[in-house]
Structure 1
Amino acid sequence: MGEIEVRELLPSEYKEWNLLVEKAQAGTLFHTSDWLEICRDALSKDFKIYGCFRKGELVGGCPLFIKDIKGMLKVATSTCNMTSYSGPLMKESASSKASKQAQETHEILNSLREFLCRQGFDSIHLTFSPGFEDIRPFTWNGWNSAVRYTHYLNLKENADNNLSMERRLELKSADEAGLKTRISNDPETYYRLLSSAYEKRNLKPPLPGGFYERVFNLIKAKDIGYMFVSETPEDEAVAAHLNLYGKKCAVIWTSALNPDFGHLGSNALLYYNEFLDLKSRNFEYMNVMAANVPTFVDFIMGFSPKLIPYYNVTLESKKYSIAKTLYKTLHKETY
Structure 2
Amino acid sequence: MEEIEVRELLPSEYKEWDLLVEKAQPGTLFHTSDWLEICRDALSKDLKIYGCFRKGELVGGCPLFVKNIKGILEVASSNCRMTSYSGPLIKESASSRASKRVQETHEILNPLREFLCKQGFDSIHLTFAPGFEDIRPFTWNGWDSSVHYTHYLNLKENIDSKLSTERKTELKTATEAGLKTRVLNDPETYYSLLSLAHEKQNLEPPLPREFYDRVFKLIQEKNTGYMFISETPEGEAVAAHLNLYGKKCAVIWTSALNPDFAHLSPIALLYHNEFLDLKSRNFEYMNVMAANVPAFVDFIMGFSPELIPYYSVTLESKKYSIAKTLYKTTHKGTD
TM-score, reference length from structure 2 = 0.99
SS in 1 for 2:17: helix
Partner of 1:29: 29
Which residue is 1:217 aligned to? 217
2:198 equivalent in structure 1? 198
Once the two structures are superposed, residues 135-158 of structure 1 have per-residue CA deviations (whole angstroms, 9 ceiling, x without a partner) of 000000000000000000000000
SS of alignment partner, residue 332 of structure 1: coil
Specify the alignment match of 1:270 in structure 2. Answer: 270
* Distance of 2:205 and 2:66 partners within structure 1: 24
Counterparts of 1:132 and 1:62, CA distance in 2: 13
Please state how far the C-alpha of 1:333 moved relative to its aligned partner. 5.0
Q: Within the alignment, does 1:230 sit opposite 2:230 as a pair?
A: yes
Partner AA of 2:222 in structure 1: K
Match of 1:170 in 2: 170
| Shift in CA distance, 233/63, structure 1 to aligned 2, threshold 3 Å | same
* SS of corresponding position for 2:332: helix
**1:97-246 equivalent positions in 2, closer than 5 A:** 97-246=97-246
Could you tell me how far 1:206 is from its partner in structure 2?
Answer: 1.0
**1:334 CA displacement:** 3.8
CA RMSD of aligned residues (A): 0.7
Compare 142-151 and 36-45 and name the one that shifted more: 36-45
1:286 & 1:334 partners in 2: Cα distance? Answer: 39
**Moved runs in structure 1, 4+ residues, more than 4 A?**
none
Alignment-mate amino acid for residue 254 of structure 1: T
For structure 2, list consecutive stretches of 5 or more residues without a partner in the other structure: none
In structure 2, the residue corresponding to 1:240 is in which secondary structure? strand
TM (norm. structure 1) is 0.99
Measure, in 2, the Cα distance between the counterparts of 1:240 and 1:40. Answer: 25
* Counterparts of 2:236 and 2:69, CA distance in 1: 44
Q: Quick one: distance in 1 between partners of 2:66 and 2:43?
A: 12
SS of residue in 2 equivalent to 1:129 = coil
Which residue type is aligned with residue 169 of structure 1?
A: T
Mapped to 2, the partners of 1:213 and 1:229 lie a distance apart of 17
The 1-side partners of 2:35 and 2:168 are apart by 37
Identical positions, percent: 83
The equivalent residue for 1:6 is: 6
1:325 alignment counterpart: 325
| Cα drift, residue 45 of structure 1 | 1.1
Q: Which residue of 2 aligns with 1:39?
A: 39
Work out the number of aligned pairs and report it.
335
